[in-house]
Structure 1
Amino acid sequence: MDLQQAYQAALQQDATIRAARAAADVGDERVEQAKAMRYPNVAFSAARNRNDLSNTQRNVLGRSVTVDENYTSHNATLTLRQPVYRKSLSVGLEQAHQMRAEVGAQLDRELQSLGVRVTDAYLQLLLAQDQLALARAQKNTTTTQLDAARKLLVAGSGTRTDIDEAQARLDMAVAQELEIRQQLDYARRQLETLVNQPVETLSPLDEAKFAAWTPEQRSVQDWLALAEDSSPEIRQQKARLDVARLEIEKARTGHLPTLDAVAQWTRSGSENVTTPSSSYTNRVIGLQLNMPLFAGGYVNSTVRQAVAEQVQARELLEAARRDLSLRIHTEFRGVSEGRLRILALEQAARSATQLVVSSRRSFEGGARTLVDILNAEQQKELALRDLARARYTYLVSCVRLQALAGGDRDGSIAAVNALLKAP
């Protein structure tokens, strides 16, 4: 599995992405519902009732006479209502579009985050594999040095101290190998959780391709400008601010009248208690005006609430800008200075390797001890480990910087994937 395959699998399997896509579908339906409120509404109602009527009245002689009558009544009504003027509906439609933009930005944010998470998990697994290989090599080297120290002691030219030193280093190497194995298992399960499938073999980093690769060069101000226009986090907060602004306008419509066009057809039978056997057909067409007069201060309260929510959204947007600026500066430094650190660590690794060679030759000449060789081997391992970590951190910083600024996430994943060895 290479990085591109892992990313494509995570796009289909990651639960967070599926939830964000469902939220986007919710936003689409919210827009359709807001549109439907402006369309004609047709309703039909019908009823059929059994009536028991007792009618008491005086006759010509002034005596009360009661007549009991049982009969069935029925009615059917068809109503067509078309909103003519409802300010809240037009505001609600615009608000629904902004809410859809908000969840769309949230989906983009999760997709950018997924690219970073997959890249980080993939490279963390490669780092754990490299560290395990280094730990095993260190253990094998220490084992060899321990055997050599024992032979020298038997031959009469070694010391017990050399054996104890080599044994202590070997015990530490075994403990470190066990710890790295745990890290490797955790890194593997982390990647498997994202792609929702077993991960056996990964494509490793091609050091030759990495040495010749240069990421996209921009100044920090260019990255900040790109983030202001394209960052999903900023777009999400801007959409929330627009929703809050429209909520104020929507709340203020509580003071405004509404006007509907109404057409109604009603057919009823035996619903008049004075003449139960009569039937009626009523056809109505006209305009219906509703004018709010007093609601106990409810509308004013909702307006004040919406204003407070707008202030909250504005401040959250400003906080998001500041936090994003800080993170972009951090990742920019990680990218701009990461290459220099890698070059320095490559030189340190070469020097440590040369130190091991020199220490061995000096030991053969009697100028160095076995402890000097062990120290040189340990220094070499630390240099190689730090170099591997610096390379993977550098690549993650490149992907994270693109994600923070809202850059091409597929392009950044493909760029890192191109640095891996072909299967």
Structure 2
Amino acid sequence: MPTHPLRIRALLAAGVASGAAAALPAPAMDLRQAYDAATVQDATVRAARANAEAGRERLPQALAQQRPQLSLSAGRNYNDLSTRSIDNFGQNRRWDNDYYSGNQTLSLRQPLLRPALGAQVQQARAQVEESDAQLEQNEQALVRRVGEAYFDALLARDQVGLLQVQKANHLLQLDAARKSFAAGAGARTDIDEVQSRLDMTLAQELEAAQHVDFTRHRLEVLTGQSAARLAAVDMPRFVPTPPEPQRLDDWIARAEAASPELQALRAQAEAARLEVRKAQAGHLPTLDAVAQVSRSQSDSVYNVNSRNMQKTIGLQLNIPLYSGGAVSSQVRQALASEERARESLEAARRDLGVRVHQEFRGMTEGVLRVRALEQAVRSAQQALLSNQKSLQAGARSTLDVLQAEQQHITALRDLTQARYRYLLAQLQLQSLAGQDRSANVGQVNAWLESGG
């Protein structure tokens, strides 16, 4: 007896839930929990945090170059002196003398005029900003990566459920076809058609089950937690809406202003501009204030057993005259790097506009696609019911019913994919626009069932 559409829906619900290991008492993990776990577990984000910490140290290092430099040096030596000479009587004479010598020097240097240091401090600030923006970029990317892994796992689970529904239908139809053939009312071709579809479904189920394992493992690697049970989309509450604001230009402007990727590249371009100033400062003089206190004992063979104390203070001027063309080469190199940074920023800005456009369309068209596919599912369900009744009346064949069932399952699969694609587009569009990560995840997580 062919399966009634109401039974198909019941089997579908059971099949979708089969991958969730309902016997386990532990609650299902939702998107919020997956993201929170990934922020702690993900090695890429942890590396980005460490990189940001390292980048922040550039500023205190640059500021230290403008502050006084104080150093102390000390030494103590043992000297064994042998002296030979000819005295007034023409005789060779030798004197042996051994003694200790030593020195201690305390030096203070304060840069007064070093144009490169000012540019270096500003450059360090730009590099710190770049490091922080890169960290934000990696953390925003984590939102997208967790979302992709989570919804891929849900989709794989749902596809297994659909195939299990299809397999159950084929088994019932195969049993009915065999009974009908044994009673002399059916045809052998009905059995062969159903068996062929059943074999194909079994092969697809094996492949889909492997994909379930892969997607779960991918999510588990990100979160460090079991992904055996995942909260599904709450279909009664899920009502996709267009993005707000509804103008693409507004989203592109928002992304260009808040995108951490562009912020990092802007800071990189500023650092490259300041590198040009640093290189050009190689042509300029520098001026330092220098103070020194030195104490020495037996500092030469002529002053054995003597002690000296010297104090000096003054200015030290350094005027570069010629360095073999190195400074000019460094300036040209810095200018080329600045041009590269500007063009990289422009390329990223254009690419960002393309990606925002793609995700914006993913939401706007996703609303229409979900509605259209919901209607397609209803139509396919009605067509399946009509074919089943026509088969009972003898007006349709088993092949017609199989094709109607396939169309119904295909429509359900496409609807499931469209829903997840819409949710992922919402997640990614908000990330590209630089929205708060927690709020972004919370908006999408609100569509999921509580407690799995």
* Identical-pair percentage: 51
Which letter maps to 1:185? D
Q: Which of 33, 42, 45 does residue 5 from structure 1 map onto?
A: 33
Measured after TM superposition, the shift of residue 409 of structure 1 is 2.3
Which residue of structure 2 lines up, in the alignment, with residue 175 of structure 1? 203
8 Å Cα contact 2:245-2:251 kept in structure 1? no
Distance 2:232 2:188 in 1: 42
* Paired residue secondary structure (2:82): strand
Distance 1:247 1:406 in 2: 29
8 Å Cα contact 2:62-2:117 kept in structure 1? yes
Measured after TM superposition, the shift of residue 408 of structure 1 is 2.4
Tell me if 1:100 matches 2:128: yes
Which residue of structure 2 lines up, in the alignment, with residue 69 of structure 1? 97
Number of residue-to-residue matches in the alignment: 423
8 Å Cα contact 2:243-2:360 kept in structure 1? no
Tell me if 1:149 matches 2:153: no
Distance 1:376 1:412 in 2: 40
Distance 2:144 2:246 in 1: 20
TM (norm. structure 1) is: 0.97
Which residue of structure 2 lines up, in the alignment, with residue 274 of structure 1? 302
Which residue of structure 2 lines up, in the alignment, with residue 291 of structure 1? 319
Tell me if 1:165 matches 2:205: no
8 Å Cα contact 2:240-2:367 kept in structure 1? no
Which residue of structure 1 lines up, in the alignment, with residue 246 of structure 2? 218
Distance 1:259 1:64 in 2: 54
* Paired residue secondary structure (1:207): coil
Which letter maps to 2:74? A
Comparing 410-419 with 216-225, which one deviates more in the overlay? 216-225
* Paired residue secondary structure (2:395): coil
Tell me if 1:33 matches 2:73: no
Give CA-to-partner distance per residue, 1:336-377, whole Å, 9 cap, x none. Answer: 111000100000000111111111111111111111111111
* Paired residue secondary structure (1:204): coil
Tell me if 1:205 matches 2:233: yes
Tell me if 1:376 matches 2:410: no
Where in structure 2 are there 5+ consecutive unaligned residues?
Answer: 1-28
Which residue of structure 2 lines up, in the alignment, with residue 393 of structure 1? 421
Distance 2:309 2:280 in 1: 41
Give CA-to-partner distance per residue, 1:101-145, whole Å, 9 cap, x none. Answer: 111111111111100110111111111111111100000001100
8 Å Cα contact 2:284-2:320 kept in structure 1? yes
* Paired residue secondary structure (1:209): coil
Structure 1 segment 308-323 matched on structure 2, within 5 A: 308-323=336-351
8 Å Cα contact 2:80-2:96 kept in structure 1? yes
8 Å Cα contact 1:251-1:299 kept in structure 2? yes
Measured after TM superposition, the shift of residue 188 of structure 1 is 0.2
Give CA-to-partner distance per residue, 1:66-105, whole Å, 9 cap, x none. Answer: 3221111011111111111111111111111111111111
Which letter maps to 2:37? A
Which letter maps to 2:77? N
Distance 1:121 1:212 in 2: 21
Give CA-to-partner distance per residue, 1:191-233, whole Å, 9 cap, x none. Answer: 0010012222111100122126664333110111111111111
Give CA-to-partner distance per residue, 1:151-188, whole Å, 9 cap, x none. Answer: 11011110010000000000011011111101111110
Which residue of structure 2 lines up, in the alignment, with residue 14 of structure 1? 42
8 Å Cα contact 2:31-2:147 kept in structure 1? yes
Distance 1:410 1:302 in 2: 45
8 Å Cα contact 2:241-2:367 kept in structure 1? no
Which residue of structure 2 lines up, in the alignment, with residue 404 of structure 1? 432
Distance 1:118 1:212 in 2: 21
8 Å Cα contact 1:272-1:278 kept in structure 2? no
8 Å Cα contact 1:224-1:328 kept in structure 2? yes
Comparing 6-15 with 214-223, which one deviates more in the overlay? 214-223
TM (norm. structure 2) is: 0.91
Distance 1:417 1:335 in 2: 16
Tell me if 1:49 matches 2:73: no
| RMSD across aligned positions (CA) | 1.3
